[in-house]
Amino acid sequence: MTDPISIQIGKAGVGGRIGGASPGKAGGDDFASIVRDQLKRVSDMQSEADENVRKLVTGESQNMTDVFVAARKAEVAFSLLMEIRNKLLDSYQELQNMRI
């Protein structure tokens, strides 16, 4: 399982470049692909948590700790993703309101 705190947005390298790739260079991660990857990771965590809950309810699993840990990780990852979205929207709105 992946750790939601290791989202790459906080791992910007020198000059704000992500993954050390220079802007416009082939093979470098662009912002949209990074966001898509993180959305997929959060979705996978939520699916895993749902599957663990289903197994616990049907009696296939007796380990409640794993269920709670998976659900909490999915919750934290989703909350972090929503905060990033909110900050991006705030930034976009602030740019719209700037006078040139």
Q: What is the pLDDT of residues 9-49, one digit of tens each?
A: 444 443 444 444 445 555 567 888 988 999 999 999 999 99
Judge whether 35 lies within some domain: yes
Banded model confidence at residue 53, pLDDT cuts 50, 70, 90 = very high
15 assigned to some structural domain? no
Q: Which residue range forms the structural domain that includes residue 49?
A: 30-97
Q: For 63-83, what is each residue's pLDDT tens digit? A: 899 999 999 999 999 999 999
Whether residue 23 is contained in a domain is answered as no
Q: Is residue 86 part of a domain?
A: yes
In a domain? residue 11? no
Q: With respect to residue 65, please indicate whether it lies within any of the assigned structural domains.
A: yes
- Measured between alpha carbons, how far is residue 33 from residues 8, 20, 76, 96 in Å? 11, 15, 21, 24
The domain total for the chain is: 1
